[in-house]
Amino acid sequence: MSVIITFCVMFAFWIVMSGKFDLFHLGMGLLASGLVTWLSHDLLFAGHTKKFGAMLAEIGRFLQYSVWLFWQIILANIHIAGLALSPKAKELMEPDIITFKTVLNTEFARFVLANSITLTPGTVTVRIQDDVFYVHAITVKAAGDLAGDGPGEMERWVAWVFEGGRR
């Protein structure tokens, strides 16, 4: 089943990225998606022993998370652009390394959280050591609730998507 899902994901990605719907491009997409699926189908769903319905539910939650994350990226871009254009930028910037202990149990969920943090302008995941994340943030506002007590909003979203936690 993971082979079929991997192929569908790869082919859908091909279509979205190419934007071409003629026979040549769709045929190349089928070939490329088939080759990538053949080479890497076991990587995309490594360690997943979930049933098909549970996997579809996880994909649905991930799509919701992607929309939320996209909105957070837009808000962070506005914040960083305002910071960059401000004549008082030096006074407003407070770069710092923030550490927090994650509640996420799986490596994949931690991987998604680390990449989500790095995708958000103004923050970069520097290191993950065991349960502890080290994140560079350019301002306190950019850091958001990463260093607060308990899991932050982004971490709760990731837990909801991949570990069945509450949002």
Residue 24 makes CB contacts below 8 A (sequence gap 6+) with none
103 with 66, same domain: the answer is yes
Predicted local distance difference test score (pLDDT) of residue 43: 67
8 A C-beta contact, residue 146 and residue 137: yes
33 with 70, same domain: the answer is no
29 with 81, same domain: the answer is no
Q: How far apart are CA 117 and CA 120, in angstroms?
A: 5
Structural domains of the chain, count: 2
69 with 117, same domain: the answer is yes
Q: Does residue 26 fall inside a structural domain?
A: yes
118-146 pLDDT tens trace:
999 999 999 999 899 999 999 888 888 88
Predicted local distance difference test score (pLDDT) of residue 167: 62
8 A C-beta contact, residue 134 and residue 127: yes
Quick check: 92 pLDDT over 60?
yes
Q: Domain containing 13: what range?
A: 2-44
